[in-house]
């Protein structure tokens, strides 16, 4: 056993050694010596700040290490190098011991005078000079110079350019989330001009699919979904917001405007519909339904959720950590949090959803919201509303007359028995008859009017259900006071605070006595703000390399990782704002770089040394997002229905999933799949129930959209393998594709010239459609062998073949037997191609 232990400890030691180059990856190698910002501060933050950091209430020994202060430096050295468990820092029960090399970094820093610098992300964006590189042949683009400089420091070289087929698939998937068609591949291959690649980029950037694809990352970030996410998890309607995000990317709306309209679109003078729709950003939080939590608790929770979203989306900071106490690692005080929250604490609406059974509820709406009828719908609605308004008083008046008539009739009493034939008796009887007749006709009139009214209301409700609408933000007239909530408890208000931005960031300039969300938006998008542009370009970069220059794209604070290329990050941020926050421009410069165009093929060692490709010495290779996996399938099989915008759709999913989680009174409580073309729309339009999102998405790491997510994990699991093998749409698509493949070849008449010939052609066609590449001779040979094997399986098992046939081909006459075997065999072949690692991977 002791032998084993020693082996294990050696292996552990080896693991630590392995970790060293990993740490070096994140360090700023543009600077040769260890820097406070990128080497020292992360250690202090992770190991010391919890007790000796910004949080005043929990500061031990009155010692703080997050800023320069009067400290006994020798004492620190003594404590971190001690063997005595009572003396050593960090204390053993913190479970965060310093490693040897970390102690060394700290000691060297102290020996050199313990100079402090502010955390890198909180200092203004620099306009760095472009580094001088030794190799002049690779590229003269600024992005490449920054990357190459780092590689040259490490004595590494960039990889060669990827081939054109790889590049067009990579670009198409990265820019539009869809694979290239065979036509576009050939067009690109045949374009031998110098500008071929550039033109391809421009073609892709101008496709509507670009906006759909770019929107997805924003929708994760702001947790867009189709249900409320709490308690009953009822339906909510905000799809116009989703469509606005798509349009904004396609129209290349300047990103500062994109941010401003979301934060404060409702505060423009005379806001446009788009600006109001955008302000719905403030309504995307989870919301509970009335009757369980206390309204004041829910209101507080909603505000915290709004501020957390602002923190993640625009600041890359965990603002919500300061709800209960000063932040442990970042200089965000509890006061900072509540001052910022004061901007979002003045919502003019209910904090919980309610009014079940109303049309509004069925539409997933809760005031304030914006109606977005088409012209025709508006006319219809106007007419119906006017008619109903006209009808209402008439109904009331008629009912009044009816009541009076009833009373009059009742007053006369029943006719006497036997009949009274006296004059008085006759007169009374006549009156009675008239009263009865009057009542009868009034009854009929009221009935008819009510019926008409009901019909009109039903027509109006039906129309309303069809009219698009979306939740928007609205400010109360008188500002609700905001307090610091003691320990973050909704019922423990402390000192009152005024709207302001965090003290450690540049101050907000505003002339208005009461600062508004509009002022806040301007503060976020001012050139003084160190975070907004950095956080934004990093997230966009992440889309094209699988990982950001700052890996922790959700956290730019003290505990986040340092950027791999800090100067490149600043360069991109600076030029992004200078270009007028031009997103397409930024994207274009990224994908035109040689860094982006490198091949992702490399020696296995390269993958082991730099698994996430932080050094950018090769092209990135990573699994496609859940949505792209599905959209690619629909696209290559010819099933994709590329309609833009509109209400969310429900492609089929296994039965009973919602039933397991929903309450019988949840709305909706049962999943009803859509039919027709709707089930083949892009995944960005798929209905997202937060309580149980579509498994086709979550199995491939899509988030639940319950909290703001800046970065998805990428896992590789057997459940994913099962999904690709057996999910209904996946297999149906393979069969659809195979059927097309067979009919295409039949049409071109090649079937006559021998099976072998057409088999090869079909294999090439299918392989190219799915992977954008041509099969090698060896691959073709393997695939030909496989087709014949599948043929055999299905020839020998007619029952199995029959089972695979689509319903319209089942139980047809015997003459079609061969055709069925062909369809089955080719379905299996296409199905195999769709399950390749390369198919689900962007290479």
Partner 1 sequence: MNSIEQMNQLQGRRQFLRDSAMGLGSAALASVVGSRHASAASVSEGLHFPAKAKRVIFLFMAGAPSQIDLFDYKPDLHKQFKKPLPPSVSMGQRVTAMTKGKEQIVAPSMFKFAQAGSNGLYMSELLPHLSGVVDDLCIVKSLHTDAINHDPGKTLICTGSEIPGKASLGSWLSYGLGRMNENLPDFIVLNSAYWSGDQANIQALYSRLWGSGFLPSKHQGVQFQPSGDPVLFLSNPAGVNQRSRRGMLDLVKSLNQEHLSEVGDPEIQTTIAQQEMAFRMQTSVPELTDLSQETAETLAMYGPEVEKSGSFARNCLLARRMVQRDVRFVQLFHRGWDHHRGLPDKLRGQTKDVDQPAAALIKDLKRNGLLDDTLVVFAGEFGRTAYCQGKLTHTDYGRDHHPRCFSMWMAGGGMKGGIEYGKTDEFSYNIAENPVHVRDLNATILHQLGVDHNRLSFPFLGLDQKLTGVEEAHVVKQILA
According to CB under 8 A, which residues from 706 to 725 bind partner 1? 706-707, 713, 715-723, 725
CA dist 527 and 710 (Å) reads 23
First-to-last C-alpha distance (Å) of the chain: 45
Measured from the CB atom, is 13 or 68 closer to partner 1? 13
Quick check: 800 binds partner 1 (CB under 8 A)? Answer: yes
Say how far apart CA 369 and CA 471 lie, in whole Å. Answer: 4
Please state, in angstroms and rounded to a whole number, the distance separating the CA atoms of residues 766 and 760. 10
User: What is the three-class DSSP state of 842?
Assistant: strand
Q: Which stretch binds partner 1 (CB under 8 A): 104-112, 365-373, 386-394, 825-833?
A: 825-833
Maximum alpha-carbon separation in the chain: 128
Q: Minimum distance between the CB of residue 234 and partner 1, rounded to whole angstroms?
A: 10
Block residue for tokens 């915008």: 645
Decide whether 11 or 67 has the Cβ nearer to partner 1.
11
Backbone angles phi, psi at 371, to 5 degrees: -85, 140
Minimum separation from the CB atom of position 470 to partner 1 (A): 23
Give the residue ranges of DSSP H helices in 562-625.
566-578, 583-592, 594-597, 604-609
Report which DSSP code applies to 504.
T
Give the nearer residue to partner 1 in terms of CB position, either 361 or 607. Answer: 607
Min CB(38)–partner 1 separation in Å: 17
The residues in 215-234 that bind partner 1, with binding defined as CB under 8 A, are 229-233
Q: How far apart are CA 553 and CA 545, in angstroms?
A: 13
How many whole angstroms separate alpha carbon 476 and alpha carbon 788? Answer: 72
Q: Does 452 bind partner 1 (CB under 8 A)?
A: no
Residue selected from 513, 656, 676, 749 as contacting partner 1 according to rule CB under 8 A: 656
Can you tell me which of 72, 789, 816, 818 binds partner 1, judged by CB under 8 A? 789
Minimum distance between the CB of residue 322 and partner 1, rounded to whole angstroms? 11
Q: Quick one: which of 7, 67, 123, 378 contacts partner 1 (CB under 8 A)?
A: 7
For the CB of residue 776, give the shortest distance to partner 1 in the complex, in Å: 8
380 near partner 1 (CB under 8 A): no
728: Cβ–Cβ under 8 A, 6 or more apart, which residues?
A: 652
- The contact pattern for partner 1, residues 294-323, with x = CB under 8 A and - = no contact, is xx----------------------x--x--
The Cα 566–Cα 546 span in angstroms is 18
- At its nearest, how many Å lie between partner 1 and the CB of residue 41? 13
Shortest distance, position 610 Cβ to partner 1, whole Å: 9
d(CA 181, CA 207): 14
The residues in 144-173 that bind partner 1, with binding defined as CB under 8 A, are: none
Q: Provide the token pair at 625.
A: 């997002």
What mask, x for binding partner 1 by CB under 8 A, covers residues 90 to 129?
---x-xx---------------------------------
Query: According to CB under 8 A, which residues from 331 to 350 bind partner 1?
Result: none
Which part of the chain contacts partner 1 (CB under 8 A), choosing from 268-276, 362-370, 557-565, 741-749?
557-565
Cβ-based nearer residue to partner 1, 572 or 772: 772
The residues facing 40 across adjacent strands are none
Question: Per-residue x/- marks for partner 1, 604-643, CB under 8 A?
Answer: x-xxx--xx--------x-x--------------------
Q: Which two tokens stand for residue 607?
A: 């993958």
Interacting stretch for partner 1, rule CB under 8 A, among 360-368, 448-456, 501-509, 598-606? 598-606
Is residue 493 a contact point for partner 1 (CB under 8 A)? no
Q: How far is the CB of 1 from partner 1 (least distance, A)?
A: 7
Binding of residue 20 to partner 1 (CB under 8 A): no
Q: How far apart are CA 451 and CA 808, in angstroms?
A: 46
Cβ closest to partner 1, residue 294 vs residue 444: 294
Could you please report the per-residue DSSP string of 168-205? HHHHHHHHHSSPPPHHHHHHHHH--STTHHHHHHHHHH
Q: How far is CA 474 from CA 189, 238, 279, 755, in A?
A: 53, 15, 8, 68
User: Which burial class, exposed, middle or buried, applies to 372 when counting CB atoms under 10 A from its CB (0-12, 13-18, 19+)?
Assistant: middle
Q: Site for partner 1 (CB under 8 A): which residue of 654, 675, 754, 816?
A: 654
The 8-class DSSP code of residue 420 comes to: -
Q: Does 528 bind partner 1 (CB under 8 A)?
A: no
Regarding 438 and contact with partner 1 (CB under 8 A), the answer is no
Which of 102/666 has CB closer to partner 1? 666
> CB of residue 836 vs partner 1: minimum separation in angstroms?
6
Within positions 663 to 692, which residues make up the interface with partner 1, using CB under 8 A?
663-664, 666, 690-692
Of positions 439, 520, 741, 805, contacts partner 1 by CB under 8 A:
805
User: Closest approach of Cβ 450 to partner 1, in Å?
Assistant: 34
- Please state, in angstroms and rounded to a whole number, the distance separating the CA atoms of residues 761 and 742: 11
CA angle 212, 547, 591 (to 5 degrees): 60
Residue 562 within binding range of partner 1, rule CB under 8 A: no
| Binding test (CB under 8 A) with partner 1, winner from 2, 15, 357, 411 | 15
Q: Are 148 and 139 in contact (CB under 8 A)?
A: yes
Please, are residues 658 and 694 in contact by the beta-carbon 8 Å criterion?
Answer: no
Q: Is 804 in the site for partner 1 (CB under 8 A)?
A: yes
List the beta bridge partners of residue 622: 842
Residue spans of alpha helices (H) in 54-156: 73-81, 100-111, 142-153
Helix, strand, coil fractions of the chain, as percent rounded to 5: 55, 5, 40
Q: Does 237 bind partner 1 (CB under 8 A)?
A: no
Site for partner 1 contains 504 (CB under 8 A): no
How many chain residues interact with partner 1 (CB under 8 A)?
114
> For partner 1, what does the binding mask look like between residues 23 and 62, x meaning CB under 8 A?
----------------------------------------
Q: Which range binds partner 1 by CB under 8 A, 88-96, 197-205, 251-259, 570-578?
A: 88-96
Phi and psi angles of residue 308, each rounded to the nearest 5 degrees, phi first: -60, -40
Structure letter (DSSP) for residue 481: P
Least separation in angstroms between CB 792 and partner 1: 9
Cβ atoms of residues 442 and 402 within 8 Å? yes
């Amino acid at each position: 056993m002791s032998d084993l232990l020693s082996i294990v400890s050696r292996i552990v030691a080896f693991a630590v050694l392995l970790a060293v180059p990993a740490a070096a990856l994140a360090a700023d190698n543009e600077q040769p010596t260890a820097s406070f910002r990128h080497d020292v501060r992360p250690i202090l933050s992770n190991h010391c700040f919890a007790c000796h950091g910004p949080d005043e209430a929990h500061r031990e020994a009155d010692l703080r290490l997050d800023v320069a202060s009067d400290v006994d430096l020798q004492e620190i050295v003594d404590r971190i190098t001690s063997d005595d468990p009572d003396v050593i820092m960090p204390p053993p029960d913190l479970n965060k011991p310093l490693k040897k090399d970390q102690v060394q970094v700290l000691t060297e820093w102290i020996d050199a005078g313990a100079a402090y610098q502010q955390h890198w992300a909180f200092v203004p964006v620099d306009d760095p000079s472009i580094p001088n590189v030794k190799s002049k042949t690779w590229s003269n683009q600024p992005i490449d110079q920054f990357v190459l400089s780092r590689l040259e420091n490490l004595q590494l070289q960039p990889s060669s350019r990827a081939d054109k087929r790889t590049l067009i698939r990579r670009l198409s998937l990265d820019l539009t989330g869809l694979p290239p068609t065979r036509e576009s591949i050939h067009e690109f291959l045949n374009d031998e001009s110098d500008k071929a690649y550039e033109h391809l980029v421009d073609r892709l950037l101008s496709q509507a699919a670009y906006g759909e694809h770019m929107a997805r990352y924003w929708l994760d970030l702001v947790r867009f979904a189709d249900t409320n996410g709490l308690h009953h998890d009822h339906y909510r309607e905000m799809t116009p917001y989703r469509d606005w995000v798509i349009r904004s990317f396609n129209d290349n709306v300047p990103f500062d405007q994109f941010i401003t309209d979301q934060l404060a679109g409702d505060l423009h003078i005379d806001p446009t519909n788009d600006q109001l729709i955008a302000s719905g950003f403030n309504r995307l939080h989870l919301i509970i339904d009335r009757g369980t939590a206390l309204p004041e608790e829910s209101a507080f929770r909603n505000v915290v959720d709004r501020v957390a979203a602002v923190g993640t989306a625009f600041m890359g900071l965990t603002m919500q950590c300061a709800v209960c106490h000063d932040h442990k690692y970042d200089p965000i005080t509890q006061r900072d949090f509540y001052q910022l929250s004061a901007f979002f604490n003045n919502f003019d609406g209910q904090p919980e959803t309610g009014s079940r059974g109303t049309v509004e509820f069925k539409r997933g709406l809760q005031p304030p919201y914006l109606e977005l009828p088409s012209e025709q719908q508006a006319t219809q609605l106007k007419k119906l509303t006017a008619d109903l308004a006209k009808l209402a008083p008439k109904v009331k008046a008629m009912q009044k007359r009816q009541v009076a008539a009833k009373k009059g009739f009742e007053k006369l009493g029943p006719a006497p028995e036997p009949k009274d034939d006296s004059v008085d008796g006759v007169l009374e009887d006549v009156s009675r008859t008239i009263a009865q007749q009057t009542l009868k006709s009034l009854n009929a009139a009221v009935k008819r009017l009510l019926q008409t009214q009901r019909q009109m209301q039903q027509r109006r409700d039906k129309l309303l259900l069809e009219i698009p609408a979306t939740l928007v933000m609205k400010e109360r007239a008188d500002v609700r006071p905001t307090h610091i909530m003691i320990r973050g408890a909704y019922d423990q208000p402390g000192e009152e605070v005024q709207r302001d931005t965090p003290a450690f960031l540049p101050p907000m300039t505003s002339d208005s006595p009461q600062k508004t969300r509009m002022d806040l938006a301007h503060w976020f998008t001012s050139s003084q703000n160190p975070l907004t542009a950095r956080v934004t370009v990093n997230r966009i970069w992440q889309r094209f390399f699988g990982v950001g220059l700052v890996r922790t794209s959700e956290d730019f604070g003290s505990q986040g990782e340092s950027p791999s290329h800090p100067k490149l990050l600043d360069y991109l941020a600076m030029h992004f704002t200078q270009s007028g926050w031009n997103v397409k421009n930024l994207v274009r410069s990224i994908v035109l770089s040689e860094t982006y165009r490198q091949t992702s093929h490399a020696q296995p060692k390269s993958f082991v040394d730099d698994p996430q490709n932080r050094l950018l010495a090769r092209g990135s290779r990573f699994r496609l997002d859940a949505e792209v996996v599905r959209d690619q399938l629909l696209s290559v099989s010819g099933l994709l229905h590329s309609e833009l915008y509109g209400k969310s759709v429900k492609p089929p999913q296994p039965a009973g999933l919602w039933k397991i989680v929903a309450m019988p009174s949840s709305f909706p409580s049962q999943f009803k799949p859509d039919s027709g073309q709707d089930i083949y729309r892009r995944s960005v339009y798929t209905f997202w129930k937060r309580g149980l999102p579509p498994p086709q998405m979550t199995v491939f790491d899509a988030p639940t959209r319950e909290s703001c997510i800046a970065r998805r994990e990428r896992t590789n699991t057997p459940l994913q393998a099962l999904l690709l093998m057996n999910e209904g749409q996946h297999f149906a698509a393979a069969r659809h594709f195979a059927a097309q493949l067979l009919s295409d070849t039949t049409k071109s008449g090649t079937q006559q010239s021998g099976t072998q010939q057409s088999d090869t052609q079909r294999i090439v066609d299918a392989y190219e459609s799915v992977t954008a590449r041509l099969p090698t001779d060896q691959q073709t040979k393997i695939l030909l062998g496989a087709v014949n094997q599948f043929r055999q399986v299905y020839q020998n098992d007619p029952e199995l073949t029959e089972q695979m046939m689509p319903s319209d081909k089942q139980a047809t006459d015997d003459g079609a037997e061969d055709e069925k075997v062909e369809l089955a065999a080719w379905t299996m072949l296409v199905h195999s191609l769709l399950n390749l690692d390369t198919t689900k991977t962007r290479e």
